[in-house]
Homo-oligomer: A and B are copies of this chain.
Amino acid sequence: MTFEQWMRSVLDRVEGALEQYLPADSTEPARLHEAMRYAVLGGGKRVRPLLCHAAGELTGAKAECLDAASAALEMIHVYSLVHDDMPCMDDDELRRGKPTVHVKYDEATALLVGDALQSQAFVALTSDVLAPAQQAALVRELALASGSIGMAGGQAIDLASVGHTLTRPQLETMHRLKTGALLRAAVRMGALTGQIENGGPDAKALQSLDAYSAAVGLAFQVVDDILDVTTDSATLGKTAGKDAKDGKPTYVSIIGLDASRALAAQLRSDAHQALAPFGARAQRLAELADLVVNRVS
């Protein structure tokens, strides 16, 4: 199977899983469920589900277990986008090529959509396709990665940094939390699903995968910063040039465009290096590192 075929097959599964793990829009309160589905379905690169499936295949996880984990990861990611786009945060009007939830509906609905998507992620993770030990381990990974010492904490640092000059280490700390924590959780959750099914967590393998995730997570952000200044809104599906306009520190603003491109290439190589212990079995993860660095939107 080529990488493109593999990716298509995973994306199809994940879309089906999201469809399944979200309440139907005929279920009351129907408008809230309609808005949750508007936010989640039919858009997005699904990077976290792809990482989860690739890591899970490496450890022999069942595909339907990875579907539940992937749906949960994507719901958390989308909830964070919906809240970040609200007027009291980044105040953005375009996301995944569509009006943001607070524009399409209203602010209160956007708030509740985000809140309810976070809960729904934990509903998905306690679906009975997963054994109780898997459910418990995956919930802990996802909750820690989402909360105040993970994604939400990174968002708080991001807000506090607007208009300030950050050092490069400070910028890295912010991104390690804001986007890195959930990407790392995607890889760990995939890997743990298979490991728990087949004997229990493997600390050494998880350590290598964490090194991979750290490189991919940072690369993802560096490339985001590059695309923000080199690509138009129509291609990105979100407002281009917004970070510079908002006075937000970025890799491009701190080290420049050329050095940012060199850094992305170096991080891709670091990611490949971290996968060395797994040999050819980690092919999909290696290809995903390439995808993250080479993407154009």
A interface, CB within 8 angstroms of B: 23, 27-29, 31-33, 36, 79-80, 83, 86, 88-89, 106-109, 111-112, 114-116, 118-123, 125-126, 132-133, 135-137, 139-140, 142-144, 146-150, 152-153, 155-157, 159-160
Contact = CB atoms under 8 A, between A and B. Distances in A.
A275 to B, nearest CB: 29
A29 B160 contact: yes
Which of the listed residues A28, A80, A106 has the most CB atoms from chain B within 10 Å of its own CB?
A: A28
Nearest to A153: B29
Contact of A140 (B89, B115, B123, B150): B123
Given A83-B115, A86-B111, A111-B89, A31 B156 contact: yes
A104 to B, nearest CB: 15
B144 A123 contact: yes
Contact of A135 (B123, B136, B152): B136
23 contacts: A28-B157, A29-B153, A29-B160, A31-B160, A33-B148, A79-B115, A83-B111, A86-B111, A88-B108, A89-B108, A89-B111, A108-B159, A109-B159, A112-B152, A115-B118, A118-B119, A119-B148, A119-B152, A122-B140, A122-B142, A122-B143, A126-B140, A126-B143
A150 B126 CA distance: 16
A126 B126 CA distance: 12
Given A122-B139, A143-B120, A147-B123, A115 B23 contact: no
Residues of A contacting B: mostly: helix
Contacts of A135: 132, 135-136, 139-140
Nearest to A127: B140
